[in-house]
Amino acid sequence: MNGQTTTSIAQLVWKMYKEALGIEIGTLQKLKEFDLTSDVVKNKMRERYGTNIPYHEKVISSAAIFESDRLIVLSIN
């Protein structure tokens, strides 16, 4: 999560917690650890990065934030 010009919502949330509170919610993963095989994902990767896909870049996923033990549910309706 360094020097990237395109930011996902998950990355923005992660950075806000990290910079404002010093809390890392969720576990960062290298891009290459995700399933990147679907055509939709391949097209989005080409659109975002061209041919220079940063497979070793650490990123956060929405699922990793949701599953974080650093967050708690305050109310369930």
Answer yes or no: is pLDDT of 67 > 70. Answer: yes
**1 within a domain of the structure (yes/no):** no
pLDDT value, residue 33 = 97
**What band does 43 get if pLDDT is binned at 50, 70 and 90?**
very high
The number of distinct structural domains making up the chain is: 1
Please name the residues in contact with 70: beta carbons below 8 A apart, sequence gap of 6 or more.
Answer: 23, 24, 25, 26
**57 within a domain of the structure (yes/no):** yes
The rounded distance, in Å, linking the Cα atoms of 31 and 59 is 6
**What band does 17 get if pLDDT is binned at 50, 70 and 90?**
very high
How crowded is the C-beta side of 8, counted as CA atoms within 13 Å? Answer: 14
Answer yes or no: is pLDDT of 19 > 60. Answer: yes
**74 within a domain of the structure (yes/no):** no
Q: Tokens 């896909």 label which residue?
A: 53
DSSP 28: -
**22 within a domain of the structure (yes/no):** yes
pLDDT value, residue 73 = 85
